[in-house]
A and B are shown apart, each in its own frame.
Chain A
Amino acid sequence: MRVAIFRTVASVLLVVMLSGCAQTGQGIANNPKTTMGGMLGAAGGGLIAAAAGAGTAGIIGGVLLGGLLGGAVGNALDQRDKQLAAQNAQNTFEHARTGETSTWQNPDSGHSGSITPTNTFQNASGQYCREYQQTITVGGEKHQGYGTACRQPDGSWKIQS
């Protein structure tokens, strides 16, 4: 129980500092509600994973996916979707070249997604970071997002913006 509370609080603190950017349908500029949902969505993702009793991978998955987990997209994805998306993202950030798209698909839910690194750089702290674009398809509708993830000392990747 204590562990679950700690994880939840940690997720909230983490995603307050680290938020993703998301763009759906009409785009950020034309849809402030979506933008807000996206900004808060990363926290929602982390909380959902913790509340569902997911392990660290689930929480990281929620945080990692950033803004795309906000609103309808986040609610539509099940735990397995998030796990597949997170694994795909981690693997892509670590190994894929810029412009190389990696995909995931959950045959049970019918949901799928892709992620493409668009730039690689070192931040001021010397961490490797990668800008990316991602797509999640739910119910035949494509939702696009973008952001930056940086490599942590333990080898995991976290969304920075």
Chain B
Amino acid sequence: MAREVEVRSMRRMMIAFGMTLLSAGGVAAQQGSPPIQDPRAAFAATDKNKDGEIDHAEFQQRITEVFYFADKDKDGLVVQGELKVYDEEDLFEDADKNGDGKLSLKEFVAARFEKFEEADTDESGTLSIEEVVAEFER
């Protein structure tokens, strides 16, 4: 039973991750331009140096911006519901390491980088377009 719950939780986490690995569509409330829903467009927007790979620095820039736009009152913290990727309470709690009911940028970055490592199936330290699309389609 516990194993079944764990598998369900993992599946939800992977779906959420696939949807929001790079996409600003992970932000529940949007400001400015429309969110990028297409993984290839999201990849292109994230791959700043256009070398065909997303490295750690590019990934961090991207998710920091996602966090910034999710943080409605700009107090440096987001609550559950502001980030679509953490709509599920258990996923939010997993990321909320200090258990204060809010995510700091540090907690969000740490949680996203765990997913980065999972998506990096060839363990190259960077994400290719294929790896990103695979996560979106998973």
Do A and B originate from a single complex?
yes
Counting CB contacts under 8 A, is A95 at the interface? yes
Please list 14 pairs of residues, one from A and one from B, whose beta carbons are closer than 8 Å in the complex, sorted by A's number: A94-B31, A95-B32, A96-B32, A96-B33, A97-B69, A99-B45, A100-B33, A120-B61, A120-B68, A122-B105, A126-B76, A128-B68, A128-B71, A155-B74
Given A97-B65, A98-B65, A128-B68: A122 touches B76 (CB 8 Å cut-off): yes
How many of B's residues come within 8 Å of A, CB to CB?
A: 14
B32 & A120 in contact (Cβ 8 Å cutoff): no
Interface string of A127-155 (1 = CB under 8 A from B): 01000000000000000000000010001
Closest 8 pairs (CB-CB, A-B):
A120-B65, A95-B32, A95-B31, A126-B76, A96-B32, A120-B68, A97-B32, A97-B33
B61 & A119 in contact (Cβ 8 Å cutoff): yes
Chain B stretch 14-29: residues in CB contact (< 8 A) with chain A: 24
Question: Closest CB-CB distance, B113 to chain A, in whole Å?
Answer: 15
A100 & B32 in contact (Cβ 8 Å cutoff): yes
Q: Which of A96, A97, A98, A151 is within 8 Å of B74, CB to CB? A: A151
A121 proximity list for chain B (CB < 8 A): 61, 64
B45 proximity list for chain A (CB < 8 A): 98-99
A128 & B74 in contact (Cβ 8 Å cutoff): yes
How far, in whole Å, are A99 and B64 apart by their CA atoms in the complex? 14
Who on chain A is nearest to B77 by CB?
A126
How far, in whole Å, are A122 and B105 apart by their CA atoms in the complex? 8
How far, in whole Å, are A23 and B114 apart by their CA atoms in the complex? 40
Given contacts A99-B45, A155-B74, 11 further A-B contacts (CB under 8 A): A95-B31, A97-B33, A97-B69, A98-B65, A119-B61, A120-B61, A122-B64, A122-B76, A128-B71, A128-B76, A151-B74
Interface string of B10-51 (1 = CB under 8 A from A): 000000000000001000000111000000000001000000
B31 proximity list for chain A (CB < 8 A): 94-95
How far, in whole Å, are A25 and B71 apart by their CA atoms in the complex? 39
B64 proximity list for chain A (CB < 8 A): 120-122
Who on chain B is nearest to A118 by CB?
B48
Which of B31, B32, B64 has the largest number of chain A CB atoms within 10 A? Answer: B32
B105 proximity list for chain A (CB < 8 A): 122
B71 proximity list for chain A (CB < 8 A): 128
Question: Closest CB-CB distance, B69 to chain A, in whole Å?
Answer: 8
Who on chain B is nearest to A155 by CB?
B74
Interface string of A95-127 (1 = CB under 8 A from B): 111111000000000000000000111100010
How far, in whole Å, are A128 and B76 apart by their CA atoms in the complex? 8
How far, in whole Å, are A72 and B115 apart by their CA atoms in the complex? 50
B32 proximity list for chain A (CB < 8 A): 95-97, 100
